[in-house]
Structure 1
Amino acid sequence: MSPRQEAVRLPMMQPLRRPSIIDQAELELRNAIYVGDLRPGDTIPEVQVSKQMGISRSSLREACQRLVRDGLLTQIPGRGLFVTTMDARTMSDFIDYRLGIEMQSASIVADRVAGLRAGGDDAGVAALLAPLRETLERTRRALEAEEVIEAGNADLDLHLQIAEITRNRFLISSMNTIVILTRMGSFSDPLGYGVRADLTEANARLLDALDAGDDSRARAVLRETLKELAGRLRSGETHQELVRDPDLLESDGPEWTTLGEE
């Protein structure tokens, strides 16, 4: 007798789809905020943006709601959508959040390095940390050339790479949003976008701690760095020498590109 075939009860599932126009619109908006085409306080003109993107207003609204969820946009009833301004309270909460994500990422990487060192795999450690060292060199070159925004880009890339090394998709996803929120905080600084003059040295200390597999030292470096950033963006006060680019305070407004345009 053949075994009885019982009906399998499946949960309701949505059909799989390729990346949609809404996904692309979300990415376009995120990029515009990251590079500074959209600054804190800027409005999102729905008609203009949807027309220039070549999408419907309903699709744009859905993409914008994803950014509202992540804190990148703020919706004010009766007034519309605005790029979030990182005030003192928001910045304080954000730095606490960023510390949690980054310190966990650093701990995972340091533990992995410690395991490789214990097994005598120094080459494995070098390969694991090679992307970070390349990005650190980018930071040094940018500061020497007085390219402030590129130095900031390299710094954010390095912190994102640490999360990527963990291969933890939740940490990586969180860091992708964190780098944009950090950029927004920097653009909210009324004294102009700036980075620490000793940015290379600060990140080198972090890499040295990771290279040694020293979890506690890596976390301590992150804590010092992020607490300094929080204090600077909350009050403008800092004990660190800064390199600023006052031209980045000026904006002619967002320059929208059509989706799919090369």
Structure 2
Amino acid sequence: MRGVEALSAINSRPTAVVIADQLRESIIDGAFAPGDQVNEALVASRLNVSRGPVREALHRLVQEGLLLARPNRGVFVQELDARDVAEVFAAREVIECAAGEIVTGRDADRREAAADRLTAIVDRMQAAFDAGDWPRLGRIDLEFHTALVADAGNSRLDRAYATLATEALICLTHFPGAYPERSNVVPGHRELIELVRSGTMEELHRALHEHLSVDDHRLHGHDADGDLRHGRPEGDAVASQP
């Protein structure tokens, strides 16, 4: 189903939060494609609610960066290009490395517990891979990284990562190059688990950088001399992109 036809009536729960959740899922699943207009009146009619909570839901998604409001034209699903995808994944790296710094700095028992939680997720990832269920695999993949961030116990990192995770799912749906070689997905995540378990932060940082790099659209690199900084001036190849 496409567009508003993918939504289901909420009747007893006509809240802006529920509407935003349905719209967000429809954008992630591709029912609303990049560039599609999300018509306030049609959404309200489909969900059997007034236009007020729909307007609030759309505003929420504009603030999240999933929708774009164009004056006198309406609200549209954001169109992402390769650079946008690279920015999403680079921002994910920053947050995941900040969380990893906290997790790997803990004692061995707590690192082991974190590794066990992540292993349970990767086991489900393996099942999805074996079944050839790529949409489910992508969602479990993001669940893994969200769990890594959550293990740090920093609510601000959690909140910052939530929108990035949603954008990442959209990237995986519409940009095949955003996902690593499928045969490397499960082994790559198991490598990250072992680095969490060992508490080896520099290696974890480099592994996350490789894991979250998008084809040839890298916004920063890590040098052999141990420079692990983020946000450095971009190279000529990237700067020359439109």
Bin the TM-score by the shorter chain.
0.7 to 0.9
- 1:90 alignment counterpart: 84
Q: Point out 4+ residue stretches in structure 1 off by more than 6 angstroms.
A: none
Aligned with 2:141 (options 146, 149, 155): 155
Aligned to 1:126, which of 112, 130, 133? 112
1:76 aligns with 2:70: yes
* 2:17 equivalent among 13, 23, 38: 23
For the residues of structure 2 that align with 1:63 and 1:201, how far apart are their CA atoms?
A: 39
Residue 94 of structure 1 aligns with an amino acid whose one-letter code is V
For structure 2, the residue ranges without an aligned partner over 5 or more in a row are: 1-12, 220-242
The worse-fitting range, judged by mean Cα deviation, of 207-216 and 49-58 is 49-58
Alignment root-mean-square deviation, CA: 2.4
Q: 1:230 to 1:74 in 2, by over 3 A?
A: farther
Query: What is the identity percentage for the equivalent residue pairs of Structure 1 and Structure 2?
Result: 26
For 1:214, the aligned partner's letter is T
Q: CA deviation at 1:138?
A: 1.3
**Structure 1 residues without counterparts, runs of 5 or longer:** 1-18, 235-262
Q: Write out per-residue CA displacement over residues 191-224 of structure 1, whole angstroms, 9 at most, x where no aligned residue.
A: 6996522100111111111010111111111101
Answer yes or no: is 1:167 the counterpart of 2:153: yes
Question: Could you tell me which residue of structure 2 aligns to residue 206 of structure 1?
Answer: 192
CA contact (8 A) 1:185 1:233 kept: no
CA contact (8 A) 1:142 1:148 kept: yes
How far apart are residue 93 of structure 1 and its match?
2.7
Q: TM-score, normalised by structure 2?
A: 0.76
For 2:43, the aligned partner's letter is V
**In structure 1, C-alpha distance between the alignment counterparts of 2:21 and 2:97, rounded to whole Å:** 27
> How far did 1:35 drift?
3.0
Larger radius of gyration: 1
What is the CA distance between 1:82 and its match in structure 2? 1.4
Structure 1 residues 30-49: aligned runs within 5 Å: 30-49=24-43
TM-score normalized by structure 1? Answer: 0.71
The total of aligned residue pairs comes to 206
Q: Distance between the aligned counterparts of 2:29 and 2:67, measured in 1?
A: 15
Q: How much has 1:54 moved relative to structure 2?
A: 2.7
Question: Is 1:196 the equivalent of 2:181?
Answer: yes
Does the aligned pair in 2 maintain the 1:68–1:75 contact within 8 Å?
Answer: yes
Distance 1:176 1:195, change over 3 A: same
Aligned match for 2:132, one of 132, 138, 146: 146
Give the whole-Å Cα distance in 2 for the aligned partners of 1:31 and 1:233. 28
